[in-house]
Structure 1
Amino acid sequence: MGEQKNYILDKKIATKKLERMAYEIAEQNVGEKRLILAGIKDNGVAMAHYLRKLLQSIFPGDIDVIELNLDKRNPGEIEISSTENFDDAVIIVVDDVANSGKTMLYALKPFLQYHPKKIQTLALVERTHKVYPVNTDYVGVSLATTLQEHIFVEVEGGEVTGAYLV
């Protein structure tokens, strides 16, 4: 028998959190013509695609999804799936869990050579002990955890199926 998972979000609640964040994105970006959802590989990309689907009925502008590929443990080089010009764009960096803020901070790097109109951040689960100066703009759930605890988000078929604490 495998270890028991301590779920903090099930599929139904995770879906509701993502729906609420989609509405928050639409509300915070009224009048904008284009959003770029920059998903951090792997779960962040799946969440970005899901958010795009939710936003299509409530946000009148264009919504693009791009992929950011970086080593979360030792971020250095960041691969980006699009080399378009991000000047005057609204960019939302999407990840499953915001731990120390390090991944989000490094994920901003490819956009710094441009002049985006706004850069916002989104995480389904945010831990409250940040080490880096990154504020998460859209948060599904915020948890106070110990440094020894880890949060895992499960994604199947492009949908979040749960999040648990180990």
Structure 2
Amino acid sequence: MKNIILTNEEIIHKTKRISYQILETFVDEKEVVIAGIANSGYTFAQKISEELSKISDLKVVLCEVKINKQNPKDNITTSLQTSEYENKALVLVDDVLNSGATLIYGVKHFLDVPLSKFKTAVLIDRNHKKYPVKADFKGISLSTSLQEHIQVVFEKDNSYAYLS
């Protein structure tokens, strides 16, 4: 039995709200890079990018960030060259902020590059951080036990998040 915590409709609503928050934060920018952490974080970043393109004139550039979640100290790669996001506004996106390890190593990777503005966004913040990292934009904050796991499933017309 899956304990659904976000329905497809709620994910759509939260994606729109985060997109508007990003737009308000980056109102002075002409371009914003939405960098999603593979796999589900990148899917969520695609949804945010689509929404931002609908509601604004911002040039939205999508970037996939590959982090080894079992060993986040491993080399991090991105689908864009460093020069393509240098001195630009960037939002690092993941689906679930759990311990904070993946997000903080992602943040560290982008700190080596000068950016005009840098924010983070997650669909679900679990409030279990081991690292001092926060999400600037979040769909939902949820206090869960360490034994519980949150899965986000992105399907074409039926995305949802559940607790197991």
Structure-1-length-normalised TM-score: 0.92
**Aligned residue identity for 2:122:** A
Q: How far apart, CA to CA, are the structure 2 residues paired with 1:88 and 1:79?
A: 18
Count of matched residue pairs = 162
**Aligned residue identity for 2:70:** R
Q: How far apart, CA to CA, are the structure 1 residues paired with 2:111 and 2:158?
A: 30
Runs of 4+ in 1 over 6 A off after TM superposition: none
Structure-2-length-normalised TM-score: 0.93
SS of the aligned residue for 1:50 comes to: helix
SS of the aligned residue for 2:5 comes to: strand
**Aligned residue identity for 1:148:** Q
- Aligned match of 1:83: 81
**Runs of 5+ in structure 2 lacking a partner?**
none
Q: How does 1:58-73 map to 2 (within 5 A)?
A: 58-73=55-70
Identical residues among aligned pairs (%): 38
Q: How far apart, CA to CA, are the structure 2 residues paired with 1:16 and 1:95?
A: 17
The structure with more helix, counted as a fraction of residues: 2
The structure with more strand, counted as a fraction of residues: 1
- Please, which of 4, 10, 25 is the counterpart of residue 22 of structure 2? 25
**Runs of 5+ in structure 1 lacking a partner?**
none
Root mean square deviation, CA, Å: 1.3
- Aligned match of 1:48: 45
Q: How does 1:121-140 map to 2 (within 5 A)?
A: 121-140=120-139
